[in-house]
Structure 1
Amino acid sequence: MPRPVKPAVFILIAAALALFGAVAGGYYFAMRPVVLHIAVGPANSDDLKVVQALTQAFTQNHSYVRLRPVPTEGAAESAQALADGKVDLAIVRGDLNVPKNAQAVATLRKNVVVLWVPAGAAQGSSKGSSKGSKGKKKADNITKISQLAGHKVGVIGRTPANVNLLKVILQQYGVDPEKVETIQFPVTEATDAIKNHKADVYLAAGPLNSKITSDAVAASTKNGEAPTFLAIDSADAIAQNHSEYESTDIPAGAFGGAPDRPEDEVKTISFNHHIVARKGLSDTTVAAFTHQLFAARQQLLADFPLAAKIETPDTDKDAAIPVHPGAAAFVDGEEKSFLDRYSDYIWWGLMALSATGSVGAWFAGYLKKNERNNNTSLRERLLDMITIARKSDATEELDKLQAEADDILRSTLACFEEGAIEHGTLTAFNIALEQFHNAVADRKLILMSLPQNLQRAGAQLRATGS
C-alpha cells in the first residue's frame, strides 16, 4: 500500500503557494490601471473636448493611468473641486486663484488677450458715438487703451475671469474700471453682438488659433476695412506685477483675412490653462500620466489639433505654480522604470523567499527529527543483531532476525525517500546491512555442519544461562 503523505509536505506546499500568491498579488496591485478623476469645464468647451479625447486614447492604449472626467461650470469650479479634494486632477486658469494643494503637470494651452475696435465703430452704442458731434467721444477714434474711459467694452465669454482681466489692463493704464461699461456675451452670441454694434470695443482671450476669436474678428471687418487692434504696450509691466501673466505678441495676419488681421505685430499679454495634480498624489502615478499625456498628444494631432498646444510645465523653483515632482521627473528625464520603482520590493521579496526557504527547510527538518532519531535506533539495533547472529545456535532465531532486518530496511528506505536521512547515512546503513547478511549466512553454514543434538544442547544451555 502507498504510504500516506506526511504533514510536512502539506505545510511546505501551502507555504510555497502562499508565497506565490503574495508575489502574484503584489504584481497585480502594482500594475493594475489607476483611475484619476479630472475636473474640467464648462460643457462643450475645447478643454473638455481635449480631456475626452485623452480619456479615449488612454483606454484604447490600455494605459496604466486612466482618466474619468468630472464636468464643472468652468475653471474656477474645477479649481475648487481640487482644493476640496474631490478630484485628482483639474484644468485651471493661471490668472485665477490656484489652490494651494495644486501642482503643475502640463500647460494645456496658452491664451492671448485680444482687444480691438470694429471697423465702422462710429455707429457704436456709446454715448454720442453715433452722432460724432464735437465734444462727444467717437468709438472709431479709439487707438489706445487709455482712451477707453466712457466707452462700452464687450467681453466675449461668460466667465468673470475675463472681466477681471480687463480691470487689470485698465488699471495699468490709469483708467478707472468704473468709468468703463462692461457687457459680457456668450461665445455663441458674440458675432451677432458685433454686427449689431452692442459695444465699442471687444475683448477675447483664447489660443491664437481659437475659432471663437477668429470669427469675432472677422465679424468686425466692414467693407474690406480691418478692425483696429489695441496694443498692450505695458505688457512687460503687467507681467512684472502679476506673475500669472506673460508678455507676448500677436503675429501679423494671425486671424487671416484681407487685409491681414492684424496688419502688424501687436503686443499683448498671455496666460495659461494648466493641468494640475493634487499635492500628495503619487509621484509614480503623475510621472506615468505625464508620459502618457505627451505620447497621446502626438497620436491625436491629426484628428484633434488642439492637442498640439499641450506643453511641459515650468520646472523653475519660482514658477507661478510649483511643478509636481512626478511631472518634473518626466521633464528632466528622471522618470523611474518598473525596476527602479520596485527594485526595493523585489530585493526584499527575494530576501523573504530565501528566508522562507531556510525556515521551511529547518521546519521540515524539525518535523523529521523523530524519524531520524528512530532510524538511528534501528541502525543501532541492526548492529546489535550482527553480534546476536554470530552467536546464534538456532536457524529459527536467525530467520526471525532476518525478518526484523527486512522491516528495518523498509523503514530506512522510507525515511530516505522523505528526506529524513541523507545519502551518506543510507550508505552507512547499507554497509551495516551487508555485514548482518554475511553474519547470518556464515552462522547458518556453521549450524548446518553441526549435529542436531549439539544444536539443541547449545540452545538449552543458552536458555538455562538466560
Structure 2
Amino acid sequence: MSTEGPTASPIEPPPRRPKVIKTNQQQVFLYVVLTLLLSLATVWGGRALLHNSETLTFAVGAPNSDEALFAAKLATVLETNASRLRIKVVNNPDNAKALAQFDRKQADLAVLRTDAKVPLRARTLAILEHDLVLLLGPGNKKIKSIAELKKKKIAVLAESEASLAFVRSMLDIPDGPDAAKIQIAPQGATLDKLFAPSNGFGAVIAIVHASRAVRDKTYEQVAKRGGFTLNAIDEAKALARRLPGISSETLTAGTLSTSPQIPDDDLDTIGLEWLLVTQSRMSPTTAGELARTIFENKSALGLDNGFATRIEPASTEKDAFVMAHQGAADYINDDTKSFMDKYSDLMYLGAVALSVIGSIFAAIYAKITRIAPEKASELSTAILDVGERIEHAHSLDQLECLQDELEGILRGAVIGLRDGTISTDGLDTFKLGYEFVRDEIGMRRDYLKRHAGETEKTVRDAGLAQHDDSNVVVVKTAQSA
C-alpha cells in the first residue's frame, strides 16, 4: 500500500502582464511630440495669417534725390530682414509732387522738410536729417542782424528752389522788387564765384544737410583763402517761434573747418528737419514694425553722401510740428518691448495652442488609451485560488509547487509595485491573503509530515506480518513432509 498521493502535475505560472509603465511612457512621449508638432503647425499657420505681406507705396522725387535713394535702401533692408512689409518706390519730378501724391492718399510714405506744406494726415515715423542754415558774408565782413541782411543781395545755396521761398519767409520779404534781391545760386556755383565783385552778392545763405556739412572740405579750403565769414543768427529763437517747422540750432566750434576753426566758438543758427512721414490711417502694428526696422538698421540706411546717417526718433510731444504716429510713439516710448512687439502675437498663439492641444491629448490619455496598473487587491484572487488547492495537495511535492506559486505571486507584486504595473490600492488585503495562505501551507506541510511517519510505520508492520506468515507456512510444509 503506497502513501504517495497522485503525481503532482506541473503548475503553470500566471501569464506575464505587459510592461504597463513602459507602454504608458511611450504613450506620454508620443502625445508630447504630437502636441509640440501640432502647436508648431498652428503657430506657423497663425504666423502665415498674421504675417501677410503688406506693400507700402513710397512717394519720392527724382530717382537720384536723397529721399529716393533712402527709399530704395529701406526697401532693400526690409527684404533682407524677411519683413512682411514691402516698399514700392514711386518717383515724381520733385519732392513737392511727391507730397501732393501723399496728400491725395495715393502713397503711404513720403519724406518732407519742415518748411514744406505738411499734409493734414501726415504722421512722423522718424527724423532722417537736419538741415543747417549758414549765413555767410564775403571776406571778413560780419552781418550783425536780420535787418541788415534784408538790405543785401542774397544768393541762396541749396539743392532745390524750395529753399528760396523759405529764405524769403524767414526774412519776411513779400513778392515784389525786394524779393528779386534773393536769388537761387546757379547750379555748381562756388562760394568764391558767388562772392566775386562781378556778382554783387553781399551774403550767401547756404542750406545744407548737417551730416554733409561736417564732411565738406570746401568751407575749409575757401576759409584758408579768407573767402568768407560765418555769422550767427541771433534771432534764431525768435524765428523758431514765429515760423513753424524751424528749429533753433547750435553749431559747435570747428564744425565747418578745424584749421582755421570755423566757427571759432559755439554759434546760434536755425535749422530744418527732414521727416519720414506716413498716413495717420496706417495701423499701429505696421507703423511700429516699420519704425523698429528703421532704428535697428540705421547704419544700413545712411547714404554715402551723409543723408540719414544720424536717424533720430520722432518727437512724441503733443506740440510737435508733425505728430508722431501712434505705432512709432509706442515703440519709441518703450524700446525694451521691441522683442515682445515683434513676437507677442505668435507667443500668445503658441501658448493657447499648447494649452488646448495638450489638454485634449491629456484627456485622451487619461480616459481612453492609458493602461491602468493592476490593483494589489486584485492579486488576492490568485492567492485565494492557491489557498483552495492546498487541501488537495497530498504530497510535499505538490505542496512545494503551491508554495512556489505563492512566492511567484508575491515576487510579481513586489516587482509590479516597483515599476508601476501594480498600484498600492488594496495592498493590505493582499498582505492579509498572502499571510493566511502561507500559514495554511505551513500547517498542511506539518500535517503531511506527521501522517507520513504513521504511514511508514504501518507499511513496516505490514511487511513483518507477511514475513512471519511465510515462515509458518514453511514450517508446516516441512512437518507435513
Q: Deviations over 1:371-391 (max 9, x none)?
A: xxxxxxxxxxxxxxxxxxxxx
Q: Deviations over 1:223-279 (max 9, x none)?
A: 632512232111111112223111111122211153222223221111110000111
* Counterpart residue number, 2:26: none
Q: 2:203 aligns with which of 201, 204, 213?
A: 201
Q: 2:74 aligns with which of 33, 54, 61?
A: 54
Kept after mapping to 2: 8 A contact 1:75/1:93? no
What is the deviation of 1:74? 3.4
Trace 1:178-189 onto structure 2 (pairs within 5 A).
Answer: 178-179=177-178, 181-189=181-189
* Counterpart residue number, 1:166: 167
* Counterpart residue number, 1:79: 99
What is the deviation of 1:109? 0.7
Kept after mapping to 1: 8 A contact 2:54/2:85? yes
What is the deviation of 1:75? 3.3
Q: 2:56 aligns with which of 28, 36, 42?
A: 36
* Counterpart residue number, 2:124: 104
Trace 1:61-460 onto structure 2 (pairs within 5 A).
Answer: 61-119=81-139, 140=141, 142-157=143-158, 159-171=160-172, 178-179=177-178, 181-190=181-190, 193-194=193-194, 196=196, 198=199, 199-210=201-212, 214=216, 217-218=219-220, 220-221=222-223, 224-225=225-226, 227-256=228-257, 258-299=259-300, 305-333=306-334, 337=341, 340-341=344-345
Amino acid in the other structure paired with 1:79: L
Once superposed, what is the RMSD of the aligned Cα atoms?
A: 3.8
Kept after mapping to 1: 8 A contact 2:60/2:90? yes
CA separation of 1:49/1:87 partners in 2, compared to 1, >3 Å: closer, same or farther? same
* TM-score, structure 1 normalization: 0.58
CA separation of 1:217/1:280 partners in 2, compared to 1, >3 Å: closer, same or farther? same
CA separation of 1:310/1:177 partners in 2, compared to 1, >3 Å: closer, same or farther? farther
- Determine the C-alpha separation between the residues in 2 that align with 1:190 and 1:227: 12
What is the deviation of 1:41? 2.7
The alignment covers a number of residue pairs equal to 317
What is the deviation of 1:193? 4.2
Amino acid in the other structure paired with 2:312: E
- Determine the C-alpha separation between the residues in 1 that align with 2:348 and 2:45: 17
Q: Tell me, what secondary structure is at the counterpart of 1:337?
A: helix
What is the deviation of 1:206? 2.4
What is the deviation of 1:196? 4.6
Unaligned runs of at least 5 residues, structure 1: 1-19, 121-139, 358-466
Q: Tell me, what secondary structure is at the counterpart of 1:210?
A: helix
Q: Deviations over 1:413-466 (max 9, x none)?
A: xxxxxxxxxxxxxxxxxxxxxxxxxxxxxxxxxxxxxxxxxxxxxxxxxxxxxx
Q: Tell me, what secondary structure is at the counterpart of 1:28?
A: helix
Amino acid in the other structure paired with 2:157: I
What is the deviation of 1:58? 2.4
Q: Deviations over 1:168-222 (max 9, x none)?
A: 3323xx999853501112553345742655322111222223259946645754x
- Determine the C-alpha separation between the residues in 2 that align with 1:302 and 1:160: 22
Kept after mapping to 2: 8 A contact 1:36/1:68? yes
CA separation of 1:233/1:213 partners in 2, compared to 1, >3 Å: closer, same or farther? farther
Kept after mapping to 1: 8 A contact 2:303/2:309? no
- Determine the C-alpha separation between the residues in 2 that align with 1:27 and 1:276: 28
- Determine the C-alpha separation between the residues in 1 that align with 2:301 and 2:134: 28
Kept after mapping to 2: 8 A contact 1:229/1:266? no
CA separation of 1:339/1:260 partners in 2, compared to 1, >3 Å: closer, same or farther? closer
Q: Tell me, what secondary structure is at the counterpart of 1:104?
A: strand
Q: Tell me, what secondary structure is at the counterpart of 1:188?
A: coil
- Determine the C-alpha separation between the residues in 2 that align with 1:25 and 1:327: 27
Unaligned runs of at least 5 residues, structure 2: 1-39, 362-481
Amino acid in the other structure paired with 2:122: A
Kept after mapping to 2: 8 A contact 1:144/1:230? no
What is the deviation of 1:59? 2.1
Amino acid in the other structure paired with 2:56: L
CA separation of 1:40/1:213 partners in 2, compared to 1, >3 Å: closer, same or farther? farther
Kept after mapping to 2: 8 A contact 1:224/1:259? no
* TM-score, structure 2 normalization: 0.57
- Determine the C-alpha separation between the residues in 2 that align with 1:295 and 1:305: 18
Task: Give the greater-gyration-radius structure (CA).
Answer: 2
Q: Tell me, what secondary structure is at the counterpart of 1:253?
A: coil
